[in-house]
Structure 1
Amino acid sequence: MKKIILIMLIGLIAIFSGCSGCGKRNPVAPPDATNIIENTATETQTQTNTATQTSTHTPTNTLTPNITYAGQWGSYGSLNGQFNVPSYIEIDDTNSEIYVADALNHRIQVFDLSTNYKRSIGSPGTGDGQFSQPYQFAGDFANNRIYVVDGDNDRIQIMATDGTFIDKWGANGTGNGNFDMPSGIDIDTTNGKVYVADTGNHRVQIFDLNGSYISYFGYQGTGDGQFQSPMDVEIDKTNSRVYVSDGVLHNVQVFDLLGNFISKFGENGTGYGTFDRPNGIEIDNVNNRVYIADTFNSYCQMFDLSGNFITQWGSAGSGNGQFDDPNKVAWHNVSSKLYVVDSYNSRIQVFTLNP
């Protein structure tokens, strides 16, 4: 059956869980904020507990980072600098640019570090260089490339950072190299591999940088190393680990680079260290932390690399520091800022982090 989702990253993973009433909501138009707005409001909650492999919680952490709202940009629409359900963000330090996946405008938008619009990559369609709901991408900025998850077209496209089409691979299906609603992607440039969260096929596939199939790991189930709805895949390049979020199992699983299961953390809930449809993962090797966009709980959570809970920030709403389905956190080490994709408020919010 041809997929009927409009965007997997915003909660239509309910298709796999049988959840009623969990379908797509209409995008919310936030207050006009086309330029970054400075503010000092703080939305931070902390507690000291840890999520272990069996998803229990034991107080261990004493670190309490300070996360402060610093600004935002974007509004609902299709003009340059506007968004229609943004779903992903990544920062290119090589060229001092910010890339945002503007999923329902079917494009990638590029901004400078001051959030000024620079250019767009892609347009709606099925042709080369066109997208139908580009959920995520992974930047190989040293080689001026981005790998785009063209979700509704069931393929990966390689684009130059200037917007030129380079290559593509994948089609709808269950075989090796085929996809069913892919959603997440990351690149291990050291080993020349691309990891793709093949959501509808309940697995993560591994390719070389040219798109040639290598292997996969995971299959449908609820046990260790199994998936119901793998949403994002993120590589900890320093420690050779792969983190995968599962929106139906409400956890994050950790693997080695070959896909061998190591550990997991999280379970369904609204408390510290628990999740409701977790999505985007960000690894911060400077501070040895993992940031998770806890989408349906409308906040973001911070863990250490072992899955021990540190803190969380945000709450449901459209005000400064509030979220409506956050889908990705990006950490910018140079400025010590956290960028959060606030999807149904059609904006990007910025926070400063004092470790």
Structure 2
Amino acid sequence: TGWSPSPISSGTYTITGTVATPVFSSSLPGIHTPPVTVTLSSSTALATIHYTMDGGNPTCGSPLYNPGVPPVFSASTTIKAIACKTDWTPSAALSGFFEIENTAATPEFDTVAPGLYQSAQTITLSTQTAGATIHYTLGGSTPTCASTLYNSTDKIPLGTNSITTIKALACKSGFTNSGVLSGTFTLTGTVATPTFSSVTPGDYTQSQNVSLATSTPGASIHYTLDGSAPDCDSALYSSALNVPLFTTRTIRAMACKADWLPSSTLSGDFTVTGPVATPTFDGNQPGTYPSDTSINVALTVSTPGATIHYTDNNTEPSCSSALYSAPLTVMVGESITFKAVACKTGWEPSSFLTGTFTVSIPEIPLITGLSATDGTFTDKVTLTWDDAGTDVDNYVLYRDTDPAGSFADVLATVSSTSYDDTTASPMTTYYYKIKGKKGTFLGEANTSESGFAKSTVITVTDNWDNAHGYDFSTPMGIAVSSDKVLVADSGYHRIQVFDPTGLHLFNIGKNNGDKSSGTGNGELNSPSGVAVYNNEIYVADRLNNRIQVFDINGVYQRQWGSLGSGNTQFLQPAAVALANDEVFVADTGNSSIKVFSLTGTYKRKWSGVTSPASITLSGDYVYVCDLQVQSLHRFSPTGTNQISFASIGAADGQVNSPKALYFFKEHLYVAEAGNHRVQAFDTNQAFVQKWGSEGTAAGQFKSPQGLALGTEGQMTLLYVADTNNNRIQKISFQ
């Protein structure tokens, strides 16, 4: 109400229906004499009739019935017909068997009619003539009654991808052979599923070209790249499909061929990651920075999810190198080359980032004016040096006992310009170096400076003299072992043996206290040197011109030597020393040093000394004192004279009638008969300290001609043969 009426809508509806089934108009199914003409008709106006004569079911595509030319045949035949009309439902099928008298009925295709199929088929045949047999060919040739017999049990199987023409006839004894049944069956099948023929689905770091293939000849491949299902109308594959960097693509493909069933779908995911972006330095860039502070080096990468790995030793990094997690520090004085690579699972590692960062080292001056006291104090060495001002924060002192040593040990780090080395052992010469220190950095050291603390003479611990019950006559050489002190009691022609406390143990020489000389085995004549080695006692039997050997209990073992100048002869040998299973003899009268095996076999000798009075060994050195030349010598074990030192005189470092030597704890001790004292030299032949003066009091000497050293706890024991005072003095010091 209140509205205008709508326009008129109009439409026509046509209702057709089902075409009427055809009928046989003249000849009806049954037994006939040939030839037979069959006419057909349909009550539906304008309908067309289509028929078959091979037993197959008719369709609107079967042969068209022409009323003017009806089918004529002379063999038994089944006619099937259908009526068709446009827009109408086809009629039901008409079927009739026309049997020619005494003629076998033409075979028929029972279940599968000739045509196109996309799967394997099993063909069955039949004939209306009872008792007739069916014979067939598959190659298109005309069959005879001798052709292959059709077996209704096995039937005729046809496989895919084949075109087969079946021809068949029916035979029966007494009957005329049937007409020939002929039909062509085209079987295609399912197209083979495509395959990836170049690369397989997966993750890649480089762009990929993906090729497809199918094994079915003549088939085409159709694909999609968006993950959707392909069909035979999808994009046609003609060349490899590219998957570029930083892309993930799902490739799906199907193979198609006319009259064939399409293949199954091939599907694969291809992910191309590519290389990770190269890391960069974030903030501080490579270069040289001033020395006032350390710097931080930060790294970054633009690829999300990537990790950074680095080295700081100029080696190439890898994804297993140290993981970067926080800025890296370059300290003052360091120069570090960082190399970094960025990594991500499934991605190609980045290119290398390289950069060198240098933080300058502060300039530290050489420290000048280093001075060390030489024997000024008994308990320390005092060191002083020039003030370097604000150029240094501290001073670092180093100490060594060798001027050419490594000076690896730090003695002390101080801020003042002096230091007392209270750890210096007395009688040891030390060499000192000093470096300036600024922050954590050290300057260079100047040349070394030597110094030493003199020994503190505690006391003359023992005085083995007549007043204390001892009996010596011109004592000369002394030797010490772990539990014995041996004295060459030259005037009494014997070796007296004591324990370290001075308790007399036994004598070596004539028996029953006889103090006279002798020449027999084990008898002595003015022995001047004695040594202990491998639990044997070696004696320089001076006026018998031989070396005698005793066991540690004084029992005679062997001897060698006689008066003369030959290699195994001696002229008043004054001293003997042993090392490395060799016996060194100071052959005083022959002006030579001779070397023997432990059994007395001659090995070598050397000259270079006029009147060798004593000999002592230290490692690779042989020290000899020359009584006539008034000097000291250092030889190699083979006799090379390496250095001569200590000229005649009474000053420190000079000598007068040096009669005995002993090397102990990096010091060479010398007993001087002319200066009535004992001096100590370091391994650089520098004077260290001296003891004694001429006299008879404790600590004084008269022509000392023998000495040896040992230890007792922290104390050093010095045994001196105070020759013209006919006593042994035992002095302890540290």
**Normalised by the shorter chain, which TM-score bucket?**
0.7 to 0.9
Paired residue type of 1:70: V
The whole-number CA distance in structure 2 between the counterparts of 1:80 and 1:180 is 34
The whole-number CA distance in structure 1 between the counterparts of 2:469 and 2:509 is 13
- Cα deviation code 1:255-279 (max 9, x no counterpart): 1111111112111111111111102
Cα distance, 1:267–1:260 mapped onto 2, change above 3 Å: same
The whole-number CA distance in structure 1 between the counterparts of 2:584 and 2:635 is 12
2:594 paired residue among 205, 211, 214: 205
The whole-number CA distance in structure 2 between the counterparts of 1:126 and 1:178 is 16
Write out aligned runs for 1:1-355 (5 A).
61-76=451-466, 81-93=470-482, 96-123=483-510, 124-140=517-533, 142=534, 144-188=535-579, 190=580, 192-218=581-607, 226-237=608-619, 240-285=620-665, 288-334=666-712, 335-354=715-734
Residues 73 and 115, structure 1, Cα contact 8 Å, conserved in 2: no
The whole-number CA distance in structure 2 between the counterparts of 1:176 and 1:195 is 13
Paired residue type of 1:247: L
Paired residue type of 1:301: Q
Structure 1 position 76, deviation (Å): 4.9
The whole-number CA distance in structure 2 between the counterparts of 1:344 and 1:76 is 13
- Cα deviation code 1:121-154 (max 9, x no counterpart): 11220000000001011111x3x21111000010
Q: Which residue of 2 aligns with 1:3?
A: none
The whole-number CA distance in structure 1 between the counterparts of 2:684 and 2:494 is 35
Paired residue type of 1:139: V
The whole-number CA distance in structure 1 between the counterparts of 2:458 and 2:678 is 13
Q: Which residue of 2 aligns with 1:52?
A: none
The whole-number CA distance in structure 2 between the counterparts of 1:298 and 1:200 is 24
- Cα deviation code 1:152-180 (max 9, x no counterpart): 01000011122211111001111111111
Structure 1 position 333, deviation (Å): 2.5
Residues 121 and 162, structure 1, Cα contact 8 Å, conserved in 2: no
Relative to its length, the structure with more helix (as a share) is 1
Paired residue type of 2:528: Y
Paired residue type of 2:559: K
Q: Please, what TM-score do these two structures have when normalized by structure 2? A: 0.37
Gaps of at least 5 residues in structure 1 are 1-45, 49-58, 219-225
Q: Which residue of 2 aligns with 1:222?
A: none
Could you say what the CA RMSD is over the residues aligned between the two structures, in angstroms? 1.9
Structure 1 position 60, deviation (Å): 5.2
The whole-number CA distance in structure 1 between the counterparts of 2:732 and 2:465 is 21
The whole-number CA distance in structure 2 between the counterparts of 1:270 and 1:107 is 33
Structure 1 position 92, deviation (Å): 1.1
> Secondary structure of the residue that 1:333 maps to in structure 2?
strand
Paired residue type of 1:229: S
The whole-number CA distance in structure 2 between the counterparts of 1:155 and 1:248 is 22
Please tell me whether Structure 1 or Structure 2 has the larger radius of gyration of its CA atoms. 2
Cα distance, 1:294–1:61 mapped onto 2, change above 3 Å: farther
Residues 709 and 718, structure 2, Cα contact 8 Å, conserved in 1: yes
Structure 1 position 80, deviation (Å): 7.9
Q: Whose relative contact order is higher, 1 or 2, with alpha carbons under 8 Å and at least 6 apart?
A: 1
> Secondary structure of the residue that 1:227 maps to in structure 2?
coil
The whole-number CA distance in structure 2 between the counterparts of 1:278 and 1:76 is 26
The whole-number CA distance in structure 1 between the counterparts of 2:591 and 2:616 is 16
> Secondary structure of the residue that 1:130 maps to in structure 2?
coil
The whole-number CA distance in structure 1 between the counterparts of 2:554 and 2:470 is 16
Residues 289 and 304, structure 1, Cα contact 8 Å, conserved in 2: yes
Structure 1 position 71, deviation (Å): 2.9
> Secondary structure of the residue that 2:599 maps to in structure 1?
coil
The whole-number CA distance in structure 1 between the counterparts of 2:538 and 2:711 is 22
Residues 649 and 656, structure 2, Cα contact 8 Å, conserved in 1: yes
The whole-number CA distance in structure 2 between the counterparts of 1:150 and 1:80 is 26
Residues 461 and 732, structure 2, Cα contact 8 Å, conserved in 1: no
Q: Please, what TM-score do these two structures have when normalized by structure 1? A: 0.75
Moved over 4 A (4+): none
The whole-number CA distance in structure 1 between the counterparts of 2:462 and 2:723 is 13
The whole-number CA distance in structure 1 between the counterparts of 2:450 and 2:606 is 32
Paired residue type of 1:233: I
Residues 537 and 554, structure 2, Cα contact 8 Å, conserved in 1: no
Gaps of at least 5 residues in structure 2 are 1-426, 430-448, 511-516
Residues 203 and 216, structure 1, Cα contact 8 Å, conserved in 2: yes
Paired residue type of 1:313: W
The whole-number CA distance in structure 1 between the counterparts of 2:451 and 2:640 is 28
The whole-number CA distance in structure 2 between the counterparts of 1:69 and 1:330 is 17
Structure 1 position 61, deviation (Å): 4.0
Residues 76 and 84, structure 1, Cα contact 8 Å, conserved in 2: no
